[in-house]
Amino acid sequence: MKGLLDGDKKLQVEALLGLIAASKKLGLDPTRYNNALRTLRPDLAEGGTKAKPKPQTKVQKSRSVEKNGGKRRKLLSGKVENGHLRLKFSAPIPTDGVRHFVLKRKGYYLYVFDIAPVRLPYAIKRIKGEGFKEVRIAQYDPRKIRVVVETKKRYKPRHTFDGNEIRIPLPGAAADESRKSKAAKRSLPASGPAAKPASKPSAKTKAPAAEAGPALPGSMLRRYTVVIDPGHGGKDAGAVGYMRKKEKDAVLAVAKELKKVLRKRGFNVYLTRERDVFIPLKRRTRLANRKQADFFISIHANAAPKKSHWLKSKGIETYFLSRARTKRAKRVAAIENSAEIKNIDRYTKEAYLSVLNREKIIESNKLAIDLQRQMLTAVRSRYKDVVDNGVREGPFWVLVGAQMPAVLIEIGYITNPTEAKRLFSTRYRKLLAEGIANGIESYIYHNK
């Protein structure tokens, strides 16, 4: 990756030769690395052939299943009913498949349930309700889901198994069960003359309504550094849309507003560009790495592929770095990458994207989810019609090389007349900046 970012062909060749050798030893297909090597050093490239793995014996298959904790179940539904969180799975969960522990964080208690082997049909689910702050269900690692019940007060949740379901009592239900248990004990005949009279039960108190997460103190946020990257600049105008408005101008204005908001909250903040100048892609993440940033936020504005789509193409979306899986992601990435990577061939791109740091991809995905949700909440407080285009993955080269969670935000379509006007509106920019700042704080609150 370093060789690609620095334009060091010798280092690229050495890396590709190493990847080819490692692939052969592991019985993997080295074709993509051979193709990339062929564009740099045809004399060193070989014809890659896919090595066929030896078929596993029944014993090996059995050991493999055991090693992975058995067949993974799928979570079919997760909902709150009658004071319980009911989790329904495609098959029963083994009793030793649930690990429970408690964490205390900033005046809140987190009751954590790790359940395996399970996979989710979504990235994260959040449920709010009476008596608790929030329930979160997310894929913690490839084979384990994590359920977190966040409350203001301590309680004793005792999960139960019922066929394909696991039921976790929430604060109100747990208190009721505890009272019933005590009442049942009191109703039993005294076992001796020294038996104590039952104490008078306390009056019922109304459960507090769900509330927003607490704001993080500035003293804590001063530990975090954010590098904001206004896309394009200088000779690279980016997308040019409605009324000839330019992407480079819109994103710089939003980036400056975001810088003000973050600094006011206590963050250390740097911009990759403060004015209308062109900055090569590799220098943008290099600045973030040099500043030892905790977050890299690249801000862009989207554009419809053709004029007939200007009115219907709209909305906000957030990307994290990965190999594109959809035509839409490939199209957007091609637009944002076009200024600088024309000379990098398809094979080289594929080869280097295949060895991305998976841990950073997962962290960037989580950050993207928090940013998308908080941006929408902020802008919809004033502009109800803003479209949620979701969190997506794509091969954005401005994010390559970042050694921290890194995302690219498309803050709206500059080709859409309504959104183009909003992108140059002070009110809209402030709401966007507040939303992005809230998203960063949300990520810190839930993951740090």
Q: Please, are residues 87 and 147 in contact by the beta-carbon 8 Å criterion?
A: yes
Which two structure tokens, joined as six digits, stand for 385? 């019609």
Residue with the larger pLDDT of the pair 192 and 5: 5
Q: Is the pLDDT of residue 322 over 60?
A: yes
CATH topology of domain 70-176: Immunoglobulin-like (2.60.40)
Domain made up of 218-447: CATH architecture: 3-Layer(aba) Sandwich (3.40)
Residue with the larger pLDDT of the pair 407 and 323: 407
Query: Is this prediction's pTM over 0.75?
Result: no
The beta-strand segments (E) located in 170-257 are: 225-230
**Model confidence at 67, in pLDDT bands (50, 70, 90)?**
very low
> Which residues does residue 132 pair with via DSSP β-bridges, in sequence order?
129
Q: What is residue 21's predicted lDDT score, i.e. its pLDDT?
A: 77
Residue 192 DSSP symbol? S
Q: Is the pLDDT of residue 224 over 60?
A: yes
Instruction: List the alpha helices (DSSP H) in 127-241.
Output: 171-187, 218-221
Q: How many CB atoms lie within 10 A of CB 302?
A: 26
Q: What is residue 316's predicted lDDT score, i.e. its pLDDT?
A: 97
Name which of 136, 151, 139, 161 is nearest 78 in CA terms: 136
Sequence letter at residue 245: K
For the ranges 2-16, 248-262, 411-425, the lowest mean pLDDT is seen at 2-16
Q: What is residue 185's predicted lDDT score, i.e. its pLDDT?
A: 47
Q: Is the pLDDT of residue 206 over 50?
A: no
> What is the residue extent of each domain of the chain?
2-40, 70-176, 218-447
